[in-house]
Amino acid sequence: MDNHPQDLSDGCGRRIEYVRLSVTDRCDLRCTYCLPKGFVAFEEPGHWLTFDEMVRLVRIFAHLGVHRIRLTGGEPLLRRNLPALAARLNAIPGITDLSLSTNATQLARHAAALRHAGISRLNISLDSLKRERIEQINGRAAHERIMAGIMAAKAAGFAPIKINMVVLQGINDDEIDEMAGFCLAHGFILRLIETMPMGETGRTAGYLDLQPVRRRLKAHFGLIDTVLPGGGPARYLKAPDGRFSVGFITPLSQHFCDTCNRVRLSVDGTLYPCLGQDNSLALRPLLRGQATDAAIASAIRAAVASKPARHEFREAPGKILRFMSQTGG
């Protein structure tokens, strides 16, 4: 490869600067909108990219102009020695932003080491503050562990901490104000997410259009539009005194494909240029064959060049069969 970092752009002129890197497709929760109960068809360990392979790929991406990496899964903290991977990724020239998405069940044990390894920003999934509801929505009696994990993250000094709540009609949509109060009290940023029709679970879990919720919160709490750094798809409102922000991730009611700046890499080394389409590039055979970095970079360029213009979650809700946790959420 030549020595000059380059821009990675797609056929729609969107610049790709962000990779979501799945380190496992396994999860210790069974959220109703994600993995079906009893699901066992996980990738076999021999197909998981090794840390060396991930580091090599991230170096190549960094050379192509990517500077943000988010570790995700499955539940990333199930992958052994994750802080060691984080530290290696953080040391790659050009990577300026390393973040993690987690369900927090294992976070109490790992928060300090992850912070030390260079992860600064944390997204934590939390669909309810209520013990029984967590069990109902997330499929495990994990309330204490999740809360302990969130508080450990706060104590470890992650900033910002974003709380991701998937809002399900008739299940937790009555808890939005309480969740906002919790986030305000702890200095967290709340993000409300619409369910995406990924797999049968995503289609049937209880989609709620968040636009009316957004209008209600705006009027009721006197919130104003704002933009937060992070490069993600959320559209934010904030309190005029700046003490509270809430983001809306609304792929269905108001899609955000025009500003998409990311691609996803699943744990088996499949590159997905679009979460909501089936286009993919298998990088594992290249990594485990004799492909040079230049050959891998050029395969990535070609895959990104054909990144679909947008998902079709509305027009073709039955199209995507893989669950979110398989792609890397």
Where on the chain is the footprint of ligand SAM (CB under 6 A)? 27, 33-34, 72-73, 75, 101-103, 125, 164, 166, 193, 195-196, 198, 202, 324-325, 329
| Residue 76 or 269 having the CB closest to ligand SAM | 76
Strands laid side by side in the 245-249 sheet: 224-226, 235-238, 245-249, 189-193, 161-166, 121-125, 97-102, 68-72, 18-22, 262-265, 270-272, 281-282
Tokens 């995406």 correspond to what residue?
Answer: 196
**Residue number with the smallest Cβ distance to ligand SAM:** 329
Q: How far is the CB of 302 from ligand SAM (least distance, A)?
A: 27
| Residue 137 or 296 having the CB closest to ligand SAM | 137
Q: How far is the CB of 72 from ligand SAM (least distance, A)?
A: 5
Q: How far is the CB of 90 from ligand SAM (least distance, A)?
A: 19
Per-residue burial over 11-23, b if 16 or more Cβ lie within 10 Å, else e, is eeebebbbbbbbb
| Residue 72 or 99 having the CB closest to ligand SAM | 72
| Residue 195 or 245 having the CB closest to ligand SAM | 195
Q: How far is the CB of 289 from ligand SAM (least distance, A)?
A: 29
Q: How far is CA 20 from the centre of its chain?
A: 7
| Residue 66 or 275 having the CB closest to ligand SAM | 275
Q: How far is the CB of 329 from ligand SAM (least distance, A)?
A: 2
Q: How far is the CB of 250 from ligand SAM (least distance, A)?
A: 11
Torsions phi, psi for 140 (to 5 deg): -145, 155
| Residue 245 or 266 having the CB closest to ligand SAM | 266
- In this structure, the number of other CB atoms found within 10 A of the CB of residue 26 comes to 18
Torsions phi, psi for 155 (to 5 deg): -65, -30
Distances (CA, A) of 79 to 27, 30, 46, 184, 216: 10, 17, 14, 31, 40
